Structure 1
Amino acid sequence: MSHTSQTTRPLQEYLDALHREGILLSSPDATSASLTIANATDDSRDVRPQTLFVCKGATFRREYLLDAIEAGAVAYVAEQDFGVSIPAIIVSDIRRALGITADLAWNHPSEHIDICAITGTRGKTTTAYCLRAILQARAERLGLPRCPLFSTITLDDGIEVETSTLTTPEPFDLQRHIANAMASGSSALVMEASSQALKYGRMRGVKLAVGAFTNISEDHISPIEHPTFEDYFASKLRLFEKARTAVVNLDMKPECRERVLSAASACERTITCSTTEAEADLRAANIRHERGGIAFELTAGPNVPELNEPLAVRLPMLGLYNAENALIAAACALAVGATAADIRAGLEAVHVPGRMEIAHQEDGLTVIVDYAHNGSSLEALLTDVRDAYPNHEVTCVFGATGTKGVERRYGMGEAAGRLADRIIVTEDDPGKEDPALIAQEIEQAAREAGATNITTILDRREAARHAIEGARRPAVVILAGKGHETFVVRGTERLPYEGDAAVIRSIVG
């Protein structure tokens, strides 16, 4: 349970906030407006006396509101009048109302802590963990509490720690966790901002110290996510509407980069990063593999006076592309007061579960678990493995999600078809689709890219076993797509799965 509580205020203050947002269509009389609101929620299980209840969702039913009234709700917010015994506040956009109401209920907690939010197609989680590690080093140096992290993997608000179910929580949960982070005494918070959260206003009312944009490519394009790439891209760009400082990775397609920079210009300050562009404000040079990880030199231009001399950096993780993630993290950290020493100490200690994680290594065989779950991520992973392990046979075991992110099966199939020696197609969260049909589409894309050595084994454990036992050493076997995840989605159920790293350990002993 939360260690913080909402602020008690008259209903009129909620009406005023919704009016300022331009979504208030009708409100109750003056007597009702004076009602005392001690709690606001969109979950009928959280209702108690003096609650303002927000009716959300396309599947919302009047029965939910009646349950809330019985539990103590004294007013409700909705897009329609349900004709019940308590005052109605009618709005034109319930999603925007959720964010505004939640922010007010928790008394604007984002105004009292430096929030660094990261969006992009690839690298959000690794960048978030790198940034959290740097800010944790800063916290330890200053004697502050640990740095909270809201990520795809874990949600740690400084008081509560739980496994994440959404990359970015829904508004009332998000504001509660931000309030906890503030109450914990931490000076900064790191979070991932998903395209869905930005599109549907989950972060409405959240103020950011830093908004970082890692990169952009096609992903999450489906009828239940983003209907087009334009919708996906535009949703991501909304991050900058909330931020004081923008951090932009220049290492993306020029036409995308210019659009990102244009959106970032709305912020008070922009810090650009690159591993290739000399004009970037913060640069990583001489990127190389070194002692089971990577190393590079970090240099800054005049727009980043916080770093006044080159800094040698080492990460204990493979993947030259992770220099981009570390670079973005360093830029964010400098913007909220971290030092060069904090950057070095944090990055040297960072660990990201299920990202370029060596699950097993013995003479001539390396097994890697990675979350790469779209075409661009898998291409970057395989390209780096080719570079780090020359003259090794590379086997890639992967599948693709069903129901959503349909383009992934083609992108991943194409990348593996070009860059892997052996391909074993398996299951990965098929949802309501037939995993065999998904595998057929992956195989077709891989063959069109030139692959010939392709096997389909839908049982993920058996696919991993086949890959390892059939590897011709020296060899690298990659189990991609699920990373840290300990579940598999079949139909509408999320079923237990021991995780890719555990599967590898059970095979090799």
Structure 2
Amino acid sequence: MQKPQQTASTVKRYAALLDNLGVLASPVDAAALPDSPIAFATCDSREVVPGTLFVCKGAAFKRDYLMSAIEAGAACYVSETDYEAPIPCLLVTDIRKAMGAIADFAWGHPSGKIDVCAFTGTKGKTTSVYYLKGILDAQARAAGTHTAAMFSSIEMDDGIERGEAKLTTPEPFDLERHLANAVAAGAEHVAMEASSQALKYGRTFGVEFAVGAFTNIGEDHISPIEHPTFEDYFASKLLLFKQCETAVVNLDMDRADKVYASARERCPRVITYSLEHEAADVFGFHLRHTEGGITFTVRTPRFEREVLLPTPVRFNVSNALGAIACAEGLGIDEECIVHGFESVMVPGRMNLYPTPSGRIMGVVDFAHNGMSLETLLRDLRENYPDRELCVVFGATGGKGMDRRETMGVAAGKFADRIVITEDDPGPEDPADICATIAHFIEAQGNHAWQIEVDREAAIRKAVFETERPAVVIVTGKGHETRMMRRGGAEPCRADGVILREALDEFDAMQGENESA
């Protein structure tokens, strides 16, 4: 299978593109522009080849990058600043919008050749993407086509390239390349996450979304380097609907009325889903906990069937309903929808680690904000009412400052025992972050907490200090194997590996004690 190539064009054609978009800083005399051929477009000076259109992007951009691009053969550059370089400049007023349009054109507008489905929301995006991919892959197997492409915060798989994700939503040139790869591989669908930052800063500009789903909204990502206010965060997410043919809306979320109104205003078709409102287009009911997970009945405009979801927590049923609603929007076969969840496993999301003795149920989840942690702990409290709930968590440094409060409050309300630890402290002292979290736990009247900054030691404490049947929950890092500290990313072991070792050692010790 050959990798796709960018569309050959000219400087004049790109100038016309930006002129039509309305981002040129001043009118360009087309006759004065050279009709130079453009074989490639990029924002990375290391990728430049002769005949490249180079985009000067980023607050930290340096003129040296442009000079390197020119030495490598760049024929023209696009920028918000005139660097007075010895090649033509297309000066623009919005470099992000310009870059999205350039990337989309360079790669031949691949989203017009494949059905792209995007999820946005405060929580549940990654799980929803994996759930929908399970459904789409069932459809692909039935049709004899290539499995769906997927871009998530965990991994990227476009049918040609596969690997660990660097961003929740890739930058424009990467995103359009992956979409073009998916088309070349023969995939018919893409399931992806659309982060608030990606929507706000135009990473998805030019992408056609066959379906865009809004899962929920809560206080998160509010910081000087992310979103200055909740209103900015919310408005950024609503931008998804500007690019959708079909919108999918969760009626059970906060501000559902505003999300629904925005979807109706901007999208030709809206599909709703709910666990609470029977009038929703996709309605879930009759939830039952079983050894294999949760079964529920789903009613859609086309059918009513029972579905098995391999998870112990209720909130994932909402994610499943969102995936089903998207599948309805894409016209996926009924049997593929009903059976598409059965073998889905989301790395680092609600992964279970039971012990043979049954004394401890280990849980690893990515819950990294108050909204996610409270939902998780509330569900586990409901499912395991007689067990001790012990949770290990921390909060990130340098961003998402509100998480220290919201996660501390959630743990203080629902956990019987709490071990506070580091979680990507970045430029801050992790001990300071932990102490702030402890303050908010104490405010809930919960004094059963301790601080252990070393994450591996914290997980072991949670396991070995258990005195009765328990659920030990480790949240925040999930599958990740890098810890962001002051000096940059440092390798670390995944939470599941550490927890599994501790649980096996604990169970072996319990067996020895009972034999003695």
TM over 0.5: yes
Contact 1:115/1:209, CA 8 A, preserved across alignment: yes
Give 2:9's aligned residue. Answer: 9
Greater CA drift, 115-124 or 358-367: 358-367
In 2, distance between residues paired with 1:191 and 1:231?
Answer: 22
Amino acid aligned to 1:445: F
In 2, distance between residues paired with 1:487 and 1:288?
Answer: 37
Aligned: 1:313 with 2:307: yes
Give 1:367's aligned residue. Answer: 362
Q: How far apart are 1:33 and its partner, in Å?
A: 4.2
Give 1:192's aligned residue. Answer: 193
Give 1:77's aligned residue. Answer: 78
The alignment partner of 1:327 has SS state of helix
The alignment partner of 1:319 has SS state of coil
Amino acid aligned to 2:91: I
In 2, distance between residues paired with 1:186 and 1:292?
Answer: 31
Q: In the TM superposition, what whole-angstrom CA distance separates every residue of 1:221-257 from its partner, at most 9, and x where no partner exists? A: 000000000000000000000000000001112xx11
The alignment partner of 2:238 has SS state of helix
Amino acid aligned to 1:107: G
Q: In the TM superposition, what whole-angstrom CA distance separates every residue of 1:18-51 from its partner, at most 9, and x where no partner exists? A: 1121111244652534111110000001100110
Give 1:289's aligned residue. Answer: 289
Q: How far apart are 1:292 and its partner, in Å?
A: 3.6
The alignment partner of 1:25 has SS state of coil
In 2, distance between residues paired with 1:318 and 1:6?
Answer: 46
Q: In the TM superposition, what whole-angstrom CA distance separates every residue of 1:294-322 from its partner, at most 9, and x where no partner exists? A: 1100012xxx3xx2x31100111221110
Contact 1:133/1:347, CA 8 A, preserved across alignment: yes
Q: 1:350 aligns with which of 325, 344, 349?
A: 344
In 1, distance between residues paired with 2:99 and 2:352?
Answer: 42
**Superposition map of 1:185-224 within 5 A:** 185-224=186-225
Contact 1:120/1:215, CA 8 A, preserved across alignment: yes
Q: 1:471 aligns with which of 463, 466, 475?
A: 466
Contact 1:28/1:87, CA 8 A, preserved across alignment: no
Unpaired runs of 5+ residues, structure 2, are 505-516
In 1, distance between residues paired with 2:335 and 2:253?
Answer: 29
Greater CA drift, 26-35 or 223-232: 26-35
In 2, distance between residues paired with 1:344 and 1:431?
Answer: 43
Give 2:257's aligned residue. Answer: 258
Amino acid aligned to 1:448: A
The alignment partner of 1:347 has SS state of coil
Amino acid aligned to 2:405: Y
Give 1:426's aligned residue. Answer: 421
Q: In the TM superposition, what whole-angstrom CA distance separates every residue of 1:67-119 from its partner, at most 9, and x where no partner exists? A: 00010100000011111110010000111111011011101111000000000
Q: Taking structure 1 as reference, are residues 119 and 85 closer, same or farther at Cα in structure 2, changes over 3 Å only? A: same
Q: Taking structure 1 as reference, are residues 196 and 118 closer, same or farther at Cα in structure 2, changes over 3 Å only? A: same
Q: What number of residue pairs does the alignment pair up?
A: 501
**Superposition map of 1:378-389 within 5 A:** 378-389=373-384
Contact 2:53/2:77, CA 8 A, preserved across alignment: yes
Give 1:493's aligned residue. Answer: 488
CA RMSD of aligned residues (A): 1.2
**Superposition map of 1:81-480 within 5 A:** 81-253=82-254, 256-265=255-264, 266-300=266-300, 304=301, 307=302, 309-362=303-356, 363-480=358-475
Contact 2:139/2:332, CA 8 A, preserved across alignment: yes
In 1, distance between residues paired with 2:200 and 2:209?
Answer: 17
In 2, distance between residues paired with 1:342 and 1:29?
Answer: 53
In 2, distance between residues paired with 1:172 and 1:273?
Answer: 33
Give 2:502's aligned residue. Answer: 507
In 1, distance between residues paired with 2:305 and 2:468?
Answer: 38
Contact 1:28/1:89, CA 8 A, preserved across alignment: no
In 1, distance between residues paired with 2:435 and 2:296?
Answer: 41
Give 1:61's aligned residue. Answer: 62
Under a length normalisation based on structure 1, what TM-score does the superposition of the two structures give? 0.97
Q: How far apart are 1:2 and its partner, in Å?
A: 8.2
Give 2:513's aligned residue. Answer: none
Amino acid aligned to 1:261: Y
Contact 1:357/1:368, CA 8 A, preserved across alignment: yes
Contact 2:12/2:30, CA 8 A, preserved across alignment: no
Contact 1:360/1:504, CA 8 A, preserved across alignment: no
The alignment partner of 2:355 has SS state of strand
Q: How far apart are 1:508 and its partner, in Å?
A: 2.9
In 1, distance between residues paired with 2:140 and 2:157?
Answer: 15
In 2, distance between residues paired with 1:272 and 1:180?
Answer: 31
Amino acid aligned to 2:87: I
Under a length normalisation based on structure 2, what TM-score does the superposition of the two structures give? 0.95
In 2, distance between residues paired with 1:344 and 1:120?
Answer: 24
In 2, distance between residues paired with 1:472 and 1:227?
Answer: 44
Q: How far apart are 1:507 and its partner, in Å?
A: 2.0
Contact 2:49/2:74, CA 8 A, preserved across alignment: yes
Contact 2:478/2:495, CA 8 A, preserved across alignment: yes
In 2, distance between residues paired with 1:33 and 1:361?
Answer: 70
Q: In the TM superposition, what whole-angstrom CA distance separates every residue of 1:470-491 from its partner, at most 9, and x where no partner exists? A: 1122111000111111111001
Q: Taking every aligned residue pair, what percent have the same amino acid on both sides?
A: 51
Contact 1:288/1:320, CA 8 A, preserved across alignment: no
In 2, distance between residues paired with 1:21 and 1:484?
Answer: 41
In 2, distance between residues paired with 1:100 and 1:492?
Answer: 36
In 2, distance between residues paired with 1:450 and 1:346?
Answer: 44
The alignment partner of 1:349 has SS state of coil
Amino acid aligned to 1:462: A
